[in-house]
Amino acid sequence: MNTPISPDDIAISVRGLRNTFGDQVVHDNLDLDVRRGEIIGVVGGSGTGKSVLMRSILALRRPQGGHIEVLGLDVYSEDTKARIQIETNTGVLYQNGALFSSLTVEENVAVPLKEHYGDLPDKLVHELCMLKIRLSGLPDNASEKYPSQLSGGMRKRAGIARALALDPALVFLDEPTAGLDPIGAAAFDQLILTLQRALGLTVFLITHDLDTLYTICDRVAVIADKKVLINAPIKEVEKFDHPWVQEYFHGPRGRAAQGAQHLLEK
């Protein structure tokens, strides 16, 4: 059901992906395209390998088969320049922010800058960090705090600031609204949408949050039966004939999210 698109418009291309853990097959011949400049929501039941897929794309886990390209470059290329180009063009927000507990927010945001551009003057690093911290919606004084001094929502915003440190074209978000109250989750959705539009980002977003899917995602990719069953706008996904899809999108929570979206569209 995917619409053919030009290779130049594809930010991520996954073909024939196979991931196994011993005798357990998580992905088998999985294909996925992510278009440049879109927010794609990746959903699926527990154990379907959403995070495993993300880790494979980020070259944090070598799959047992298949081919992955990010921004037109082979993720598993032996070419060091290609690997660095991918790394400096991707930012990641892991679950709960995954900040270094012994570093302040500013020091956390500075980590990618110092790793890839270690010769930058300290003053410039400071200014760049503060810019990203402000973009994430945190107050200036948050820069001096440690993760333990921040609320869950603030830690996620600090994680976003670090993910944006290198001005990436592509951002990966793993359950960004998990653990947030409804007001905090809605505010974080709007932050993601604002940043994506302002910076022209491509966003790969793993989520269980139906409100997020309806509010900010351009397309939704459903993982089930070891493959991507459908990758399409949410109105098409709702109609897809598969038991998990129907239960997920048309159960009580799905109906509530649809109803909220209909009210916003009026």
Q: Are 176 and 79 in the same domain?
A: yes
Residue 180, pLDDT > 80, answer yes
Number of H-type helices and E-type strands within the chain: 10, 10
Q: Are 22 and 140 in the same domain?
A: no
8 Å CB contact between 142 and 158: yes
Q: Are 67 and 181 in the same domain?
A: yes
- Residue 55 inside a domain? The answer is yes
Among 89-103, 148-162, 167-181, 223-237, the minimum mean pLDDT is found in 89-103
- β-bridge mates for residue 174, sequence order: 206
Instruction: Supply the pLDDT for residue 43.
Output: 97
- Residue 78 inside a domain? The answer is yes
Q: Are 180 and 238 in the same domain?
A: yes
Residue 260, pLDDT > 80, answer no
Q: What is the average per-residue pLDDT within 244-263? A: 69
- Residue 94 inside a domain? The answer is no
Residue 1, pLDDT > 80, answer no
Range of the domain at 37: 7-89+170-265
DSSP string, 46-71: TTS-HHHHHHHHTTSS--SEEEEEET
Q: How far apart are CA 196 and CA 259, in angstroms?
A: 25
- Residue 192 inside a domain? The answer is yes
Q: What count of other Cβ atoms lies within 10 Å of the Cβ of residue 122?
A: 9
Q: Are 132 and 183 in the same domain?
A: no
**Residue that terminates a domain, selected from 167, 186, 214:** 167
Is the pTM above the cut of 0.95? no
Q: Give the E-state strand segments of 76-218 in sequence order.
A: 90-93, 170-174, 202-206
Q: Are 115 and 213 in the same domain?
A: no
Instruction: Supply the pLDDT for residue 174.
Output: 94
Instruction: Decide the pairing of beta strands 227-232 and 170-174.
Output: unpaired
CA-closest candidate to residue 158, choices 236, 230, 83, 106? 106
**Residue that terminates a domain, selected from 129, 148, 167:** 167
Residue 265, pLDDT > 60, answer no
Q: What angle do CA 24, 42, 3 make, to 5 degrees?
A: 110
- 3-class state of residue 221 by DSSP: strand
In terms of Cβ atoms closer than 10 Å to its own Cβ (0-12, 13-18, 19+), residue 177 is buried
Residue 54, pLDDT > 80, answer yes
Residue 10, pLDDT > 70, answer yes
Cβ neighbors of 104 (< 8 A, separation 6 or more) are: 143, 144, 145, 146
Quote the mean pLDDT of the chain: 91
Residue 255, pLDDT > 90, answer no
**Residue that terminates a domain, selected from 112, 143, 167:** 167
Q: How far apart are CA 159 and CA 99, in angstroms?
A: 7
Q: Are 58 and 145 in the same domain?
A: no
Q: How far apart are CA 222 and CA 43, in angstroms?
A: 5
Contacts 24+ apart (CB under 8 A), 21-29: 25/226, 26/52, 26/226, 27/52, 27/53, 27/63, 27/66, 27/226, 27/227, 28/226, 28/227, 29/66, 29/226, 29/227
- 3-class state of residue 248 by DSSP: helix
CATH label of the domain that carries residue 46: 3.40.50.300
